[in-house]
Amino acid sequence: MAEEWKIKLVMIFIVVIFMVPASIQFYSHRHYRIPIVAGPGVSKVTKLSEYSKGLRRTMAETNVFFLEGKEEGGKALIIANTHSNEPSALLTALVFIENAVVDKGTLIIIPCFNNSGSRNTKPGDGYPLYFEIPTEWGRKKFRMGNRNAAPLDQWPDPDVYIHYPDRQLLSYIDVRNTNRTWPGRPNGPLMEKVTYGAMQIMRKEKVDIAFDIHGAETMFPVTNCIVAPEKSMRIATMTSLTVKAKEGFDNHVEPSPSGFRGLSHREIGDYSDTLPFLLEAPIPFLDQPTGPKTEKLLLDGKDPFLLSLSKKKKLFVPYDETGWPMAKRVGQHCSVVLEIMHQYSRKFPERAIRVRNVPRYAEVVKNGVGHYFHNPEKVDKDDIYYN
């Protein structure tokens, strides 16, 4: 064998050694299915493609859970995992799906809104592929996703994303960001079809209020807050004041900018009768100046560099040695969602939405998030849905 081919074969061997295990991990992550136990309140489960046909048989297809009360009332939509690297949203949605019982009105929940994004990862930032939540019956495993949809499902990116219908010029990568593609269209790029599906739910089902649950960096000013457009502002303000007074945590209100297009809290309000609210809880994992992006940092939010920055007053949220554990973030989301529904019901009693059996902030912090998840091996197989 020629000398050059010996060198080439060694090179190919080295590349294969690294490439094959990595490929297996990427493939397993993309195809890992999270079991979701439909709780006592779930009355119907359908697919988002029922409302946006272009999603059928794509990786963007996702489950939509309906929790219908015996008494007619208003309707609320909870959207989680718009950004799949902000997992407190998914966990909050699952707490509702697995536990909530609706007495009046209807609750519609999309736990994995950007399903393609949840099957993507960010190896350049050292993201873990999975994270696990301890429960009383073991550890429940979740995919750790990325902010944007996988390029395997929507490719190529344009040089500049021209928002539909306002034609505002946005970053190229936002074409795969389901918090820039609102209100969407039925024949646009895949992520526009996703947001179009949610818009259709709101229009067809006559949804009164919509929640888009997120997480944001502690160094970003729009964190630990409720983002609301003009028409949702009163309810958001009342909610912020109430949770501060009754439950003792801060959640200020940020106005939705009218000149920045494509965001859920802007477009849902402008293109439907629904009142939108975007909820943000701090997620130290996403801050840039942290230590390694480990599963531990994702779950407990403790980081020495952020602690140092906090002492220099560089963060937008209170931060101490206790970090920002997942239970605190999920608890805040649960309480804020429940309080917004309560405030809406007070204002519009004929369209009230009454939900019980969902824990509030103090309970989630005390018991942990895993306490509210059911063991998929101990329930009827028909009650398990995979996302």
Partner 1 sequence: MRTWSFWCVGACDGGDAMPIIMILYYVISAYIAALLIWNFIQEKKSVNNMILYLLVLIPLILRLLRIR
What does the binding site for partner 1 look like in residue numbers (CB under 8 A)?
A: 4, 7-8, 11-12, 15, 19, 23, 26-27, 30, 54, 56-59, 116, 119, 151-156
Give me the least distance between CB of 160 and partner 1, in Å please: 16
Q: How far is CA 122 from CA 56, 90, 144, in A?
A: 26, 18, 9
Give me the least distance between CB of 60 and partner 1, in Å please: 9
Give me the least distance between CB of 8 and partner 1, in Å please: 6
Q: What is the dihedral of CA 182, 185, 188, 193, to 10 degrees?
A: 70
Q: How far apart are CA 159 and CA 173, in angstroms?
A: 9
Q: Which residue lies nearer to partner 1 by CB, 44 or 53?
A: 53
| Cβ–Cβ under 8 Å, residues 48 and 110 | yes
Give me the least distance between CB of 185 and partner 1, in Å please: 14
Q: Which among 84, 40, 144 has a CA at the least distance from the CA of 356?
A: 40
Q: Which among 307, 304, 323 has a CA at the least distance from the CA of 315?
A: 307
Q: How far is CA 321 from CA 3, 177, 185, 220, 325, in A?
A: 59, 33, 46, 20, 11
For 173, the token pair is 């990568």
Q: Is 250 helix (H, G, I), strand (E, B) or coil?
A: coil
| Cβ–Cβ under 8 Å, residues 51 and 204 | yes
Q: Which residue lies nearer to partner 1 by CB, 123 or 257?
A: 123
Q: Which helix (H) or strand (E) holds 386?
A: strand 384-386
Q: Which residue lies nearer to partner 1 by CB, 27 or 260?
A: 27
Give me the least distance between CB of 142 and partner 1, in Å please: 19
| Cβ–Cβ under 8 Å, residues 209 and 275 | yes
Q: Which residue lies nearer to partner 1 by CB, 8 or 244?
A: 8
Q: Which residue lies nearer to partner 1 by CB, 8 or 44?
A: 8
Question: 48-53 contacts: CB < 8 A, separation 24 or more?
Answer: 48/110, 48/194, 48/197, 48/198, 48/201, 49/197, 51/196, 51/197, 51/198, 51/200, 51/201, 51/204, 52/184, 52/186, 52/193, 52/194, 52/196, 52/197, 52/200, 53/186
Give me the least distance between CB of 186 and partner 1, in Å please: 13
Give me the least distance between CB of 119 and partner 1, in Å please: 8
Q: Which residue lies nearer to partner 1 by CB, 24 or 169?
A: 24
Q: Which residue lies nearer to partner 1 by CB, 56 or 356?
A: 56
Give me the least distance between CB of 85 and partner 1, in Å please: 17
Give me the least distance between CB of 22 and partner 1, in Å please: 8
Q: Which residue lies nearer to partner 1 by CB, 61 or 166?
A: 61
The identity of residue 203, as a single letter, is R
Q: Which residue lies nearer to partner 1 by CB, 29 or 374?
A: 29
Q: What is the dihedral of CA 111, 268, 66, 208, to 10 degrees?
A: 140
